[in-house]
Amino acid sequence: MVIPGLPHHVPQRGNRRRQTFFNDGDYAAYLELMAERCGEGYGGGLLEVRSL
């Protein structure tokens, strides 16, 4: 369901549930890009759950 103006839950994973981040630098770059685009309006907006 999409409701304009409300946050969305968007899980991040690779094709066939394969690994998305291959090192800490990949993960840091992802968090930086998400922070730039999500803004700070919803308490940061990112839930950190990962497995490398």
Q: In angstroms, what CA-CA distances link 3 with 12, 23, 29, 42, 48?
A: 20, 35, 28, 15, 24
pLDDT band at 5 (very low <50, low <70, confident <90, very high): confident
What's the confidence (pLDDT) of residue 21?
86
Q: Which residue has the tokens 């998400």?
A: 34
Average the pLDDT over 13-41 and give the result: 82
pTM as predicted: 0.54
What's the confidence (pLDDT) of residue 25?
93
